[in-house]
Chain A
Amino acid sequence: MSISTIVEELKKNISAFEKQVETAEIGMIVEVGDGIARMSGLTKCQSNEMLEFPGNTFGVALNLEDETIGAVLLGEYKHLKEGDIVKRTGRILSVPVGKELIGRVVNPLGQAIDGGAEIISKTFYPIEKIAPGVMSREAVSQPVQTGIKAIDAMIPIGRGQRELIIGDRQTGKTAVAIDTIINQKGQNMICVYVAIGQKESKIARIVAKLKESGAMDYTIVVVAGASDPASTLYIAPYAGVAMAEYFMDQGKDVLCIYDDLSKQAWAYREISLLLRRPPGREAYPGDVFYLHSRLLERACRRNKESGGGSITALPIIETQSGDVTAYIPTNVISITDGQIFLESDLFYRGIRPALNVGISVSRVGSAAQIKPMKKVAGKLKLSMAQFRELESFAQFASDLDAETKKQISLGQRLVEVLKQPQYEPMPAANQVAIIFAVSNGFADNIEVKKINEWEIKFHEFINRSKSVLLEKIGAGNWDEAIEKDLKSACEEFAKKQ
């Protein structure tokens, strides 16, 4: 463009510029530090309103007291001092939402932190929103295939359900979540992974793994790292669900993973104590239940009249020494529609995923399973429960009757088959096939130690030669003909061994 045209444009823009007198309601900082600020003035400030501090810093007004306002600061606050002017923005804290966020790693304010292009979004959603009411919801009936045999068979998760993943440190909670995300490829789901208070190195590894598996094509990663201020950790899950709600409003299905909510509760406790709110049990503020309940209630399945779509929530809670009777774990257990218990001693015994099937529950259950899985895995939980009762007798195997021996042998093989390596989610049809094979005795002659090898060969076999059958099963079909076909496939494989 020539210089004269540029000058013309500039002159046009300048003359079109409308002078406006800016009015802002203000207050003055009285005290600032530790991520919170107290202001005088701001007489018309509303609760949870976003406030603008000098230096383009924002904060949320949490405490509306008689003479001061207590606000939590989102971002750097070293440049703030007593006497600085604070302005009202008149709106609730909102985050940018939209398709531009998919595949990106962002902070809870929607700013890109993966070194890529700046995210410019036209739509903003408030982070606090009232959850959909009773009449706009629908019962959960579509499955979320996690790709993990133990979960899809015995503790199935549906679209719109909230399922808690709870366990001690290093038991594989994040692994379950990541495998679920990886398995959503081709399942028409958008995933939002909210990392709260995690080590940045762990998050980098997770993002690299998701990129490698092609999962970033449908995933948004929201990061509030361990070194971020407590206010950022506090709003991170709400920012994640706001981004998910944008897609739900378009009728899509979204999976939201909050890893983990224990750290969000700690961050909320920190800012509440700094704001001098009275501490309750374990020094948590009185409304720590509401902190999690209003987050998790926004995960639902909406009926068609209200726009359709669903948000499935997988919150993660870390327990200390397996204590699920502590304050936060009991709170979140009572909010969610089921829990997946991961135990350290199962993990060390080699059972990975370290799922305790006995106390894990999915309150949606088989309503969220495809028909073949329902048929095949129906008795699985019962067999496992019977096996667990008899497990201690397995040492005296020679002194038992045939019936008990059979149950123990089946149980041991089922336990082997339900083990699964990390980052290897299995398609639903293959899961149905292997569980069918083992439950109907096709692995009875294989040594327990060699079951894993046998399983690998089994999958190779059916993937190679029975792909039509697998497709039919994967689409949710199940009748006598398919069952017969599957049985003959297993017999064929058994003969080959």
Chain B
Amino acid sequence: MKKNSPRQYGIAFWQATRGLKGADLGLAISNFVALLARERMIKKSDEVIRSFIQYAKEQDGVEDIEIISAHPLSDKVINSIKNIFGNKVDAIQKTDASLIGGVIIRTRDKILDASIKSQLNKLKQSLI
């Protein structure tokens, strides 16, 4: 039989614990850990947890975005970027001086490149 991947465990865990609270939730969690131990997936537990978080966010409609800018951005700018993607946005900020200016926004499966570095690259390609 094909082995289940860590991601499938994460998804299964989310589906199993939907709407559970208190003692039920505690029982579900301990059963799940026992399952992981039986299937020898404890080593991959990091991946399982990551997949769980990602899947939970996907299901709740929370966007995960990464904002990379050349210099630290003010809160106002970050909020206006967040608003583009809807109400529920989890933003991580990074700075990368090589971008010179502008911003690169990465969502789960898209990348929006508005950095000066790429614009200059494109200009260079069009000139030569």
A residues in contact (CB < 8 Å) with B: 10, 13-14, 17, 19-27, 41-44, 67, 85, 87
Rounded to whole angstroms, the CA-CA distance of A67 and B108 in the bound complex is 14
Question: A85, B119: Cβ atoms under 8 Å?
Answer: no
- 10 closest Cβ pairs, A-B complex: A22-B113, A21-B114, A26-B111, A41-B109, A43-B109, A23-B112, A24-B111, A17-B123, A25-B110, A67-B7
B127: A residues at CB distance < 8 A: 10, 13-14
| Chain A residue contacts of B126, Cβ below 8 A | 13, 17
Whether the Cβ atoms of B123 and A22 lie closer than 8 Å is no
A-B contact count (CB 8 A): 42
Smallest CB separation, B119 vs chain A (Å): 6
Indicate if B118 sits at the interface (CB-CB under 8 A). yes
Given the known A-B contacts A19-B119, A67-B7, are A42 and B113 also in contact in the complex, defined by CB atoms under 8 Å? no
Contact of A24 among B110, B119, B123 (CB under 8 A): B110
Interface residues of B in 36-83 (CB under 8 A from A): none
Residues of B within 8 A of A17 (CB): 122-123, 126
Known: A13-B126, A13-B127, A14-B123. A42 touches B109 (CB 8 A): yes
Whether the pair A21, B109 counts as a contact (CB closer than 8 A) is no
With A13-B127, A14-B123, A17-B126 known as contacts, the answer to whether A44 contacts B109 (CB < 8 A) is: yes
CA distance A87 to B118 in the complex (A): 15
Identify which of residues 4-56 in chain B touch chain A, using a CB-to-CB cut-off of 8 Å.
5, 7
Which A residues lie within 8 Å of B109 (CB)? 25-27, 41-44
**Which chain A residues border B123 with CB–CB below 8 Å?**
14, 17
- Residue numbers in B under 8 Å from A24 (CB-CB): 110-111, 113
Q: A43 — which chain B residues lie within 8 A by C-beta? A: 109
Complex contact A26–B110 (CB within 8 A) = yes
CB-CB under 8 A from A23, the residues of chain B are: 110-113
Q: Give A11 to B32 CA distance when docked, in angstroms.
A: 65
Q: List 29 A-B contacts (CB under 8 A).
A: A10-B127, A14-B127, A17-B122, A17-B126, A19-B119, A20-B122, A21-B112, A21-B113, A21-B114, A22-B113, A22-B114, A22-B122, A23-B111, A23-B112, A23-B113, A24-B110, A24-B111, A24-B113, A25-B109, A25-B111, A26-B109, A26-B111, A27-B109, A41-B108, A42-B109, A43-B109, A44-B109, A67-B5, A87-B111
Query: Roughly how many angstroms separate A183 CA and B111 CA in the complex, as a whole number?
Result: 55
Does A85 contact B112, Cβ atoms closer than 8 Å?
no
Closest residue on chain A to residue B103 by CB atoms: A21
Interface of chain B residues 80 through 128 with chain A (CB within 8 A): 106, 108-114, 118-119, 122-123, 126-127
A22 touches B112 (CB 8 A): yes
- Residue numbers in A under 8 Å from B111 (CB-CB): 23-26, 85, 87
**Alpha-carbon separation in the docked complex, A67 to B2 (Å):** 15
Question: Do A26 and B106 form a contact, CB below 8 Å, given A14-B123, A67-B7?
Answer: yes
Chain A residues near B108 (CB, 8 Å)? Answer: 41
> Nearest Cβ in chain A — how far from B59, in angstroms?
15
Q: Cβ of A10: which chain B residues have Cβ within 8 Å of it?
A: 127
B112: chain A residues at CB < 8 Å are 21-23
| Minimal beta-carbon separation of B93 from chain A (angstroms) | 19
With a CB–CB cut-off of 8 A, which chain A residues contact B110? 23-26
Q: Which residues of A contact B118 (CB under 8 A)?
A: 22
A20 to chain B, nearest CB (A): 8
Tell me how far the C-beta of A94 lies from the nearest C-beta in chain B, rounded to whole angstroms.
Answer: 20
A419 to B12, CA, bound (A): 73
CB distance from B97 to the nearest CB of A (A): 19
Task: Name the distance in Å between A25's Cβ and chain B's nearest Cβ.
Answer: 5
User: Across the two chains, which residue of chain B brings its CB closest to A21?
Assistant: B114
A42, B112: Cα distance in complex, Å: 14
- Nearest B residue to A67 via CB reads B7
Q: Which chain B residues lie closer than 8 Å to A41 at the CB level?
A: 108-109
Closest residue on chain A to residue B123 by CB atoms: A17
- Interface centre among A10, A26, A85, by most B CB within 10 Å? A26
A21 CB contacts on chain B under 8 angstroms: 112-114
B108 to nearest A CB, angstroms? 7
The CA-CA distance from A41 to B107 in the complex, in Å, is: 11
Closest B residue to A9 by beta carbon equals B127
